Copies of this chain bind each other. A is one copy, B any other.
Amino acid sequence: MTDEINLGVTCDMHVHVRDGSMCEFVTPTIREGGVSVAYIMPNLQPPVTTLERVIRYKETLENIAPQSTFLMSFYLCGDLTPELVHEAASKGAIQGVKCYPAGVTTNSAAGVDPNDFSDFYPILKAMEEENLILNLHGEKPSINNGLEDGSEDIHVLNAEESFLPALKKLHHDFPNLKIILEHCTSEAAINTIHDINKDIKKVEDVKVAATITAHHLYLTIDDWAGNPINFCKPVAKFPKDKRALVKAAVSGKPYFFFGTDSAPHPLGSKARHVGVCAGVFSQSLAIPYIAQIFEHENALDKLRGFASEFGLRFYNVQEAQLRSKDEAILYRKDQVVPLIITSRDGIEIAPFKAGDKLNWSVKWRSK
């Protein structure tokens, strides 16, 4: 029985750390959860769309958590220009641009109409030239008034599958643009990513990847029905979808890697009868959550690929960028997920699987 695994420089390629006091609270949990490199989402209010703000945001995070390495992103919207994208890339200020369809999740009101990306093609072209990554929140907004047979309806359960043609079109139109379908949740999405990559010969040729969260490896619709702690966007789907996600995560395919989409909300934004905020907080135990799944699947040997190598390679992270070269050592030690974690100034967050037991812990080892 394996009792200790060196995961190397781990990465979580989809992280929300917000700003202000919430940011001060959750940013240190990146390292506590066993993650070294974090790709930071730009959906602040207002969204991060200027060079000055993204640089300042990164500095703030580095001050809070000096041993963590932060990769940064812009928020795709009308504020961006190709010139700005070139400038930000040349200065190494951003590694990608996040695209939110308008209105589908937390702070996405300024987002994009996913039925027509053409207005943003000059931006995407600049990104392709700069080898920046397009991070897609892959959901179509809901449509409630389709044809009688329901074939035109879009709702939270088919919103991702409905988006997949748009993903394929983007890849077709920008074949050298690196694209990530973020926090994918459906068997249909997994099949699409496999299909796009089916003729890939060299790992360096992978252009379209998907991140998979910790919580979507556990949850199905039944888990968030009546449990707002598990409500997120995209929502967790059917058992067959969860099985497809687990299978993809442990597949060893380099186009599936870890991104928690950890999204902290104060408890009061989750424990309410209307307007629950979408998001699961999994940062503080990110690696232990997924280690449990990989162990259950008898695939602990695939964890380092999923939680380190594949993401670092896709993002082309260089050793010189790392603020710490410490390696994450997974070791077998039970821990119980706290029911609530509380910041010094009183912010309460209910973490994913609050109250459940996990079999693994993480420590850091200097290289």
Looking at A6-14, A29-37, A233-241, A248-256, the stretch in contact with chain B turns out to be: A233-241
Contact code string A272-295 (vs B, CB < 8 Å = 1, else 0): 111111100000000000000000
Q: Which residues of B contact A150 (CB under 8 A)?
A: 187, 238-240, 243
A274 to chain B: which residues have CB within 8 Å?
A: 227-229, 350, 354
Known: A155-B238, A157-B157, A222-B142. A228 touches B273 (CB 8 A): yes
Rounded to whole Å, the gap between the CB of A273 and the closest CB of chain B is: 4
B155–A226 contact, CB under 8 A? Answer: no
Q: How far is the CB of A340 from chain B (nearest CB, A)?
A: 10
Cβ contact within 8 Å between B273 and A156: no
Give the nearest-CB partner of A239 in chain B. B153
Show 7 A/B contacts (Cβ-Cβ < 8 Å), sorted by A.
A146-B239, A150-B239, A155-B221, A157-B221, A225-B231, A226-B277, A227-B274
Minimal Cβ-Cβ distance residue in B for A269: B273
Whether the Cβ atoms of B231 and A156 lie closer than 8 Å is no
Q: How far in angstroms is the closest Cβ of chain B from A210? A: 20
Copies of this chain, complex-wide, total 2
Say yes or no: A276 contacts B226, CB within 8 Å: yes
Residues of chain A in range 194-220 having any CB-CB distance to chain B below 8 Å: 220
Give the chain B neighbours of A317 by CB distance below 8 A. Answer: none
Interface string of A143-162 (1 = CB under 8 A from B): 11110111001011100000
Whole-angstrom CA separation of A142 from B239 in the bound complex: 10
Separation of A226 and B146 alpha carbons in the complex (Å): 23
Residues of B with C-beta under 8 A to A336: none
Instruction: Let me know if B227 and A273 touch, CB within 8 A.
Output: yes
Interface membership of A267, Cβ < 8 A:
yes
- 8 closest pairs, A vs B, by CB? A150-B240, A271-B273, A270-B273, A153-B239, A226-B276, A229-B273, A228-B273, A144-B239
